[in-house]
Amino acid sequence: MGRKIVVDPVTRIEGHLRIEVEIENGKVKEAWSSGTMARGFEAMLIGRDPRDASYVTSRFCGVCYSVHQLCSARALDMAFGAQVPWGGNLIRNLVMGAQYIYDHVLHFYQLSALDYIDIMAVTEYKGRDPDLLAIKEKIVKLVKAGDPHPLLPRYKPDEFCVRDPEVVLTAVKHYLDALKMHAKARNMGAIWGGRTPHYQNIVVGGVTSYPDINQVMQFKTMLDEQKRFVDDVYVKDVIYFGTGPLWKLAKTGLGAGHRNYLVYGDFPLDPNWKELVFPSGVVYDFDHTEPKVRPFDHNKITESVKYAWYREREPVHPFDGEQVFDLDKKGAYSFVKAPRYEGRAMEVGPLARMIVKKHPVLFDFFRRGGKVGVVARHLARAIETQLMVEACYRWLDQLLVEMTKPGFKIHDTDHWEPPAEGMGYGFHEAPRGALGHWVKIRDKKIANYQAVVPSTWNASPRDEKGQRGQYEESLIGVPCPDPENPINIVRVVRSFDPCLACAIHVIDPVTNEVRKFVVE
């Protein structure tokens, strides 16, 4: 029996993902991924006016609210029989374009990069660059004050950590620049979305407010600045790290998992949805020399609850899914269900999208010996950010043309009233991956509602056949020589940009001194 370790952020912050692994001979032998929080939102929707769904589902999560708002609106579009005008789709696209830039830059610099650098290397810096020296001084000051809180990762640096002082300092500089960039990116979505957080403008049938020329120009100016950062800093950094200091790691294929990829497809570049930024497709047992992409058919999706805390039943399509908890169920270990495609566990997200698209930069990385895994995931995420930036320019131009046409429309107003009966599904490629909402309407009210979120695919537990979910499979064989320092496990899980619905947020000062702050 190997040694068991648990990586459980629940005890540290508002986490709700718990990873348990069994280590034997310095490697992960078995892994379990648990969602430790129940999402009761879907049950709350039953009996409500279907149009509420876009607002209510946007509260699934405090971070990626707009993705649910959009996905829900699309499910309702179908159920209501609404035809979203091209102008409405263009604005929906632009809202999400800003979300991509925001999410991916944040993920790389603030949430992941620290797993790959030895921050203390900066003390060795002997150069004369005034910017870098200022950053070095700041870090040293923090460390001396005993409060290096913002920068030190939780885990000890290992053989894969970058130690060149100049490279590390430059990375920290970019970390700071990235903060400024995504503070701005958040405002880009609000140009169309009305407010942030929780935009209000995406509804069944289209969007609610007409764009004016000033908004288009404002968005474009902000996009120019983001593009410079994405091209000159983000993508360059990822390629530099991935093919330079981390090339050894890239070649190991750390964290590959099942090698099955699923993309629903999204972001039309023309009114007929002929060309998409992210084409849909399914890949089994990926081999870069012979990538076979199959067509996607949503009828092949089922969800197993064998190891989840839900009432036991056979795997069903999400249209027939339910949320009936069974907390005493034997063998269950997660609130996340196990979605499968033709019975297989799939990975969704940037790597899946860039594989299905056969993006040349990623395939060049494979040809040179890079493997699917953590580094490939970061690379795919950076490349697709660039694709979204380029697409935003195209959408802005198209929007300007649409706006000058007589009868310019952003909403299908004829289909605003809920139908007596209806069914619909909506798909969206959210930054974290394939997202689907399914709705059934009876007597003009929601009769059933199910969402399968990207992290449900990636973080799923085992299914009725005992097949592991993608996080679990990705962890098998991962080196973990020091059980006290499971840095590789963290790298693997973080490379997916995990997100399970936002849980309880409470400021937790965790200090004995709390008494002195008591007012009354």
Partner 1 sequence: MRDEGVGIHVARELLKMDLPPNVRVVDGGTEGFGLLDFIWESDRLIVVDAVRGGQEPGTLYRFRPEDVKEGRQLRLSFHDLSLLDVLKISEFADRRPETVILGVEPARLDMGMELSPEVARKLPRLIQMVLEEIHREPEGG
Q: Which of 59, 225, 298, 502 is catalytic?
A: 502
- Neighbouring CB atoms inside 10 A of 420's CB total 10
- Based on the residue annotation, tell me whether 24 is a catalytic residue of this protein: no
- Based on the residue annotation, tell me whether 61 is a catalytic residue of this protein: yes
Q: Which of 61, 161, 392, 480 is catalytic?
A: 61
| 139-172 exposure pattern, b = at least 16 Cβ within 10 A, e = fewer | beeebeeeeeeebebebebbebbbebbebbbbbb
Residue 173 or 442: which CB sits closer to partner 1?
A: 173
Interface residues with partner 1 (CB under 8 A)? 9, 12-15, 17, 40, 59, 61-63, 65, 106, 110-111, 114, 138, 142, 146-154, 176, 179-180, 182-184, 186-187, 196-198, 490, 493-494, 497-500, 502, 504-511, 513-515, 517-520
Kindly report the CA angle at 409 between 407 and 415, in degrees rounded to 5? Answer: 120
Q: Tell me the closest approach of the beta carbon of residue 518 to partner 1, in angstroms.
A: 6
Q: Tell me the closest approach of the beta carbon of residue 111 to partner 1, in angstroms.
A: 7
Residue 84 or 121: which CB sits closer to partner 1?
A: 121
Q: Tell me the closest approach of the beta carbon of residue 291 to partner 1, in angstroms.
A: 29
Residue 357 or 494: which CB sits closer to partner 1?
A: 494
Phi and psi at residue 483, in whole multiples of 5°?
A: -60, -20
What the block records as the tokens of 358 is 């056969």
Q: Tell me the closest approach of the beta carbon of residue 501 to partner 1, in angstroms.
A: 10
- Based on the residue annotation, tell me whether 432 is a catalytic residue of this protein: yes
Q: Tell me the closest approach of the beta carbon of residue 27 to partner 1, in angstroms.
A: 21
Residue 19 or 277: which CB sits closer to partner 1?
A: 19
- Based on the residue annotation, tell me whether 378 is a catalytic residue of this protein: no
Q: Tell me the closest approach of the beta carbon of residue 287 to partner 1, in angstroms.
A: 30
State the distance between the two ends of the chain, measured CA to CA, in whole angstroms: 52
DSSP 154-215: SS---TTSB--HHHHHHHHHHHHHHHHHHHHHHHHHHHHHSSSSS---EETTEESS---HHH
The contacts of residue 388 (CB under 8 Å, 6+ apart) are 97, 100, 101, 267, 277
DSSP 453-493: -HHHHHT----TT----HHHHHHTT-B-S-TT--HHHHHHH
Residue 38 or 276: which CB sits closer to partner 1?
A: 38
What the block records as the tokens of 499 is 């997100």
3-state secondary structure 326-391: CCCCCCCCECCCEEEECCECCECCHHHHHHHCCCHHHHHHHHCCCCCCHHHHHHHHHHHHHHHHHH
d(Cα 161, Cα 116) in Å, to the nearest integer? 5
Q: Tell me the closest approach of the beta carbon of residue 498 to partner 1, in angstroms.
A: 5
Residue 11 or 25: which CB sits closer to partner 1?
A: 11
Q: Tell me the closest approach of the beta carbon of residue 9 to partner 1, in angstroms.
A: 4
The contacts of residue 212 (CB under 8 Å, 6+ apart) are none
Residue 5 or 151: which CB sits closer to partner 1?
A: 151
Q: Which of 33, 54, 64, 468 is catalytic?
A: 64
- Based on the residue annotation, tell me whether 161 is a catalytic residue of this protein: no
The H or E element containing residue 43 is helix 41-45
8 Å CB contact between 490 and 99:
no
Q: Which residue has the tokens 């039943």?
A: 313
Residue 114 or 283: which CB sits closer to partner 1?
A: 114
8 Å CB contact between 477 and 353:
no
d(Cα 207, Cα 203) in Å, to the nearest integer? 6
d(Cα 213, Cα 225) in Å, to the nearest integer? 19
**Taking Cα atoms as reference points, which of 427, 517, 495 lies closest to residue 67?**
427
> Helix or strand or coil: residue 320?
helix
Q: Tell me the closest approach of the beta carbon of residue 120 to partner 1, in angstroms.
A: 12
Residue 282 or 490: which CB sits closer to partner 1?
A: 490
Kindly report the CA angle at 206 between 182 and 222, in degrees rounded to 5? Answer: 25
Residue 435 or 441: which CB sits closer to partner 1?
A: 435
- Based on the residue annotation, tell me whether 480 is a catalytic residue of this protein: no
Q: Tell me the closest approach of the beta carbon of residue 195 to partner 1, in angstroms.
A: 9
Phi and psi at residue 206, in whole multiples of 5°?
A: 150, -130
Burial of 196 from C-beta contacts in 10 A (0-12 / 13-18 / 19+)? middle
- Based on the residue annotation, tell me whether 304 is a catalytic residue of this protein: no
**Taking Cα atoms as reference points, which of 353, 356, 375, 352 lies closest to residue 365?**
375
- Based on the residue annotation, tell me whether 499 is a catalytic residue of this protein: yes
User: Looking at the annotation, which residues are catalytic?
Assistant: 14, 61, 64, 68, 432, 455, 499, 502
